[in-house]
Structure 1
Amino acid sequence: MSSEFVDPLLVGLRENLVTRDLRLALDATALETQIAKVDKADFPHVAARFVAERLEQELQQISGEEERIEFVNQLLTTMNSVNHGEHIEGPEPQQLLSTAKPPHAAPQSPSIPISEVALLTNAQGDPRLGPELKTEMLSADAVDVVMSFVRWSGIRLIAQELQELNRRGVPVRFLTTTYMGATEKRALDYLVNECGAEVCISYDTQTTRLHAKAWVFRRDTGFHTGYIGSSNLSKAAMVDGLEWNVRVSNIQTPALVEKFEATFESYWQSPIFEPYIPEKDGERLQQALNNGAADKVPDSLLATNLDVRPYPHQAIILDDLQHEREVLNRHRNLVVAATGTGKTVIAALDYRRLCENTKGPRPRLLFVAHRREILEQSLRTFRDVLGDGSFGELLGGNYRPTKWDHVFASIQTLSQETVYTKLDRDHFDVVIIDEFHHSAGATYERVIKHFDGCKEFLGLTATPERMDGQNIVAEYFDGRIASELRLWTALDNDLLVPFHYFGIADGVDLSGAQFSAGGYRVADLDRLYTGNDQRAKKIIQATREIVTDTGNMKALGFCVSVDHATYMAEVFNQADIASGVVTGKTSREDRDQAIKQLAAGELNCLMAVDVFNEGFDLPAIDTVLMMRPTQSATIFIQQLGRGLRRGQNKSVLTVLDFVGHQHKNFRFDIKLHALTGQDRKQLQRSAEHNFPVLPAGCQIVLDEVTQKEVVANLRSQVTMSTKDFLADVRQMSTAAEVTAGLHLKDYLERSDRDLPSVYKPGATRTYLGDKGPNAWVQYEAWANGRSSFRPSEAESKLLQRANKFVHVDDPVRFEGYLRVLNSGKVTPELLQDPLALMLYYSFWPSGHEKGLAAGMAELLNARFVREELEQIMQFREVVSRAVPRPLSGGLETQPIRSHATYTREELLAGLGVGSLNLEKPGSIREGVKWIPELQTDVLLVTLKKSEADYSPTTMYHDYALTDTLFHWESQSLTREASPTGQRYINHESEGSNVVLFVRKAKNGEMGTEPYTCLGNARYVKHSGEKPMQIIWELERPMPASLFDIARAAR
């Protein structure tokens, strides 16, 4: 029975469109209902399903075939503006099953109609997968296969059909890996050599553990089919195994086929999957299969003479370093990334880029580390990345360089006065120091100071805090981290072990404890926790219930004080969970001994205070007990990070966070954002729905009490009252010892808040009966009693649009907007300045009611607007990581830059709309715009069409295949032969441009999301029409952080 016709009075989950009858039925009951608006992007699919179910029911009631045809044709007549002439012919309904060119016969059809879906389980009466695949191949015009294991026993069953595909010139592509060594080289050799298939293999079995088994058969007729299930390409799986496989169809399940095609194409284009040519790659494949079968990791993860490319997380860091040097002119930089994420590879790739940008010989390099094995491994990494087996020399032990051009030095040897003083201060162009948090004492300091004449200085570390408590970020890098690998990015890229995080209510009321911006007062927490037997009992009980085996557990417990740690260790020991205590006062010898006992299993838990937040590496840690509240994201991630290292026989990190009833100013959003990367609104939805979207393998489980506490806390942050917000501003002003004029940048840095906390979209605030604009200068004046703030009504309206500038991320606008606002008077030159027009249309998208000159005059007289934008620009200049560059194709003089971010009004105004023609940026709502004056097509792409967290029917229209290839879907009525379609296809020969702009979603925390300019694009190929699916090649690779969002496959 259709879900649409189930009794609406039955309780439970459903997704019925609300009709008048349904509304009346619900109104007549006492049922609690949850009704939500259907997202605009999802409505066509939802409505079509609704109508289809009713249409089928209606046709069942009509007995005569001619009457059925007449009924359907009447419906089609009402749609003939879209589907001209699509009326069913009578008197009997018929289907066209195939076409063929004489003398060839039509191919045999599969047992399952190609429009239908089915589940094949090898049960009695089910078609067998093997024969079905053979029949599908007979009519396919292209075949794509993802297969974890490819074996000869499976290939030989379909060998004849594969050869027939080759004879017909049908492209066949296979994706597989060497994981577990289960694939057979003979099978892949046969596919390539005898069947003309293309094969791509991932040799990286550490992160690419491909388990998928799927086929897609594409047909020029558009009737694509596929199989997704459990069957590998072996005889047992295809013939008689207990396998389940779902047959999908482009007609019945288009979203599934679209997702397969998008994901497959992304894999195929990815550098992780490498083309396999038996004569060239056969030996490498066999060795990889042998290693996989033995579960053996190769001696080196990098093979010399291979093109080493960055993983997505490494590419983001490389982009950040480029921003620091190219945009900010900063050449002393620190990279923070967890152990095991490839910091040395990042350094080598960064050095390679510096070499590529340097004319003449490679820059002189000094790489410093504290252990010989690190130096040797790092030298090997650099040689592999540079493709030069003779690159570099070692300094340390018995090794002494002879050329001193590229030196990998032990700090112990290098720091000897007889060594480093013989070299000039500027002898090395590039200095890289690994594990920079070891830079304590005179040893490192002497070397760093001596070589301060280098052109580029790079520090690498897993933690920016030193063992002696000094902050290396402030001491050596002017308080700025160039790039920090985000936890969720590392988890998404399978670099760390997944976590299972449990939030457990401990029954302690912290609402009365003293709380400040830095967190709770330690003495109050100590009083509430130490000796609290009831809480300790709950901790023991939860640990036993959740941890698999406390007798084999290797845990760290983070406590609030020495007394608390000592008390908890006693409680655990009494419960037969062997525990010790390590604090900041524990001697190094005793601490090292305790760590050895934990590693050996003599202890199951170490209770810690003020240690293990950093500088600690024990991959065996499988449990973290958070027995004190932590609001600081830095401390929370450092504590969590102690257990995220991959270790032998360790599949997951268990985290138990014991949560009390918090002070009203405590913020859960800070650490949950660090854990998930989600903003406050997303976190609120996630907490209410059990965190459905997390990196693979990760789970967040909150008990009922904790969930209510967290949701209420998150809700209060999303809807923070004016009174609480201003109190927060006053508190930060006091902390900064400022009584008036607290800068936006200082507030955000001190309060650990972000721009959405200040600029809520569309919001106005009222304080003591005074209604004010949504602007920082207003809030700061209210908080600190600045009586000089008295904007006019007109200026208040302008300040209300200040949030339209919080995305600005390039020096052209940082400088240009403020130059315009400080220009003093309106001149003819100013009215033609593209940056002035971008600024103008940002305030008045459809133009000022009295015209351009009047609007600009109003802006130039608005001193509080100027002050507001100055503060926004000051903050954005610090946090931006964009590396903007001019466009090409005659657009070089336009103010729009690739990789910079713009609102719709800004980008259109920057490309002449509103100045070169009579249109106004605010009047253009479509996702495409042809600007004839510049011979440029502007394409505006929203990756996530639906506001729903997951919408499978709208997800795979526009996406990145690689960082330079982008799949784009045109407007729904665009035909290949239309002027627009032909302009897209032939833009290069016709001398026109295509410029692509992309955003993640239509709306975000700040309201309407801006677009990132990907720059000029070139037509590669297309398929279909109404709409056309076009592959564009970007002139400049997209930013790594955006590619991470835009790619179809992770």
Structure 2
Amino acid sequence: MEDLLGQLQHSLEKGFINRQHSEFSRFKPELLVNQVHKRQDVLTSLTDELKACRTFLFSVAFITESGLATLKSHLLDLHEKGIEGKILTSTYQNFNHPKVFKELLKLKNVEVRIADIEGFHSKGYIFQHDHYYSLIVGSSNLTSSALKVNYEWNVKLNSHENGEIIHHFQEQFHEMWEKAPLLTPDWIYHYERFFEEAVIPRVAELPGNYMTNRMEAALRVEPNQMQQAALHGIEQVRLKEENRALVVSATGTGKTYLAAFDVRKYGPEKMLFVVHREQILQKAKEDFKRILGGDDKDFGILSGSSRSTDAKYLFATIQTMSKPEVLRTFDRDSFDYVLIDESHRAGASTYQRLIDYFDPAFLLGMTATPERSDGYDLFQLFDYNVAYEIRLQEALEEKMLTPFHYFGVTDIEVAGRKQEVETFQLLTSDERVERILEKLHYYGFSGDQVRGLIFCSSKREARLLSDELNTHGFRTCALTGEDSQEKRMIEVNRLEQGQLDYLITVDIFNEGIDIPSINQVVMLRQTESSIVFIQQLGRGLRKHDSKEFVTVIDFIANYKNNYLIPVALSGDRSQNKDSIRRKMIDKSYIKGTSTINFEAVAKERVYDSINAARLTDMKLLKDAYVDLKNRIGRIPMLADFYEHHSIDPVVIGRKKDHYDAFLAAVKEEKPGLSAAHAQVLTMVTQELLSGKRIHEVYLLEKLLDAGVLSKRCFQETLVEKGIREDASTLASMESVLTLRFFKRADQQKYGDYALIEISEEGYQLSPHVKKLLNDSWFRRLFEDVLRAAQLRSGRYNQAELLTRLEKYSRKDVCRLLNWDKDEQSTMYGYKTKHGTCPIFVTYHKEGEVEASIDYGDTFINPEVFHWFTRSRRTTSSKEVLEISEAEQRGIDLHLFVKKDDDEGRDFYYLGEVKPDRASIKDTTMPDAQGRELPVVTMNLLLKESVDQQIYDYLHEDMY
């Protein structure tokens, strides 16, 4: 309580009296603004408070379905914890749609009332915690745009439970609450009748002057921003006198229109457009007709019984066009422009036959997923000319797609290795069907009627689930590869016309199907491929007037490949577990109003999968290597992996000592290296590639160019770049590059030769390294490590010793705190040296001495960490005094925490801490034999509050 009062007093001083006040307080007043470039939004503050509160009160005039969807999984987690809240909203200006009131009724732990007052326009959120309240008040209603995108001003304040300001807000809320009618189905029924009569629906007006000249109308259709950029990229390829190009563009971003715009620009005498499914032929033809204009006879189809081979613009299925007897009816130069849709399929024999036969003046390929699992080099087919590329995350940011709300929900357990029959019975059991129905109802959909796609794991499951849903009042149809194209078209049309609620399928609708009105995508199968995941997600991302967003419900069981979910959503191909975990913690890579949400148990299952995944298996790394080699058309270097957002170079360095060894492992032809070359290459790879400190890298780069460099000149370079240049850091750098820092075993591993020589004149490369650099292949590899390290270093604050919330090993910390030797082996949990003391904590300890819950290292809150020293220590022990009296002795304490040993050897750096002197005390803890051992415990106060998402990840244990 005393700490709480002190923190509140500091917040008052800093927020309202003196902004230079130095004492940190987690309760300082904040202005909450949506700022994409800073990865900040109001929603994050709102959900952070929800996660930690005991109860909550919302008073918001306006609520949208999309806004409510951003909170649904969080509210469900609160319901599981028994935490309830209240929402007071309104019918002001008839803004709130009747459907959002129906959605509010689904919240089991939230009571909702309707403010009975004219002009109700409040926007406030109150959260009750232990002994204090948090208040967010300002301009943000409960809409996704207000919480994530719009320019809004909201103030976040904290008050003691006895504070007057919070009592004023509560009194106002409860005064309105007591007068407000309760939200009930009957109230919604009457409001719905009023809404239909009073609110004039928005009707799209037809243009008054309809143009009969189709060509003139077509020319008035202009490409959007993405299409303009892509058209420019294609034109640049042609200006280089290249005749093939590839466009990589996320599903739903208008690839067909883009192709039509380029055909209009190119003006071919005859064009061929090839697709792999008949369903999209007719639509592709109509899209081209809209952009190109011209007579109907100019556009023809070659598929099935249709044989319009003389058309100027011919649209054909690959199945028909690739038949030898059909190909022979055309001359090889019949088409001067050929387009291949979904060109990632071009490795198939049917496509190869067509491509080998025709000789167009220009060949354009279009795909959303150029990566191939069969090793086929799609990029080579298009002469490595990637004219334009836009992936899911960029397309969302450019508002080219419908926003989505993804919900990772908890599926039933599939424990152990069950027989196929047993697994099938489990997946189609009454319990699972009830859970599916519950989640479909709770998370809902945008619009007046559900139009959903459900992806199952087997044909049997799809058919049985369709039968089960139909018995529960839904209108569904199961479609599999056994159904004819005609049958599929009929059922798709029924879904679009509202005669069906769901199509249930296995994989046949992953691509090549266009149903823009889909407003709910349900995944009832484990994620086997990030490519397939994005394809299925993409089925709902096309824009349509009937929906504001798409609901994606992903049922997550305890499958080993769950780690692919954050990989797919973020596009992270690093194979770096830390990077993938960060994508679960920080979801700012998803732009606009889209959100990613996981129910608590589902989230833990994904983390378990990340921990267990073998992401550095050589097969996975080789596949990624081949993909990148195919993309760039040559042997990739480490820097290429980073620049093309592929494998994290550090992952390659951890798998093999150096890149030459990795190339040998993937059977790449290359020059050989001597043992001496390999030793130096190992040193720079293992110690410098991460980019955690850039000094060594910059010095080696400078010496490669200049030969000799004075210390003063090097310091000036660091100053220009805003990098630390203090004597201690430079001495540490020198110790690393001369190998003095390392243990004897590492020195031998690295060849026992210094990389640099130091004299009064300054620095120069050692004779040993100069000699090795005469080998051109070694020099290329050496320079590549430095280049990759420099690229990777941007994630670290080079002006500081360490970067908060990044991860470091004990060895990293010895080096970056400027210790003269690597002392990781004797550091254990903490060690004081050179005026610094790093403290390492594994939060969830396994296989260690069991202690009661009262004797564990733990967060009290995001600003206070309750910590125990080593056993057999007292408050008078020398090492304890160095920590307890750290401020007086000028010792900086640094806290490093990892969740458990599954995270490997690296720890999150949480920043500097200082001991709360009043909390330091002697106590005991039991050892394995039950004997009580002396130990010291204290609270460590963090200089800067831990981000709530990192705090939740480390602190929460849902099992």
TM-score band w.r.t. shorter chain: 0.3 to 0.5
Please report the TM-score for the alignment, with normalisation by the length of structure 1.
0.40
Please report the TM-score for the alignment, with normalisation by the length of structure 2.
0.44
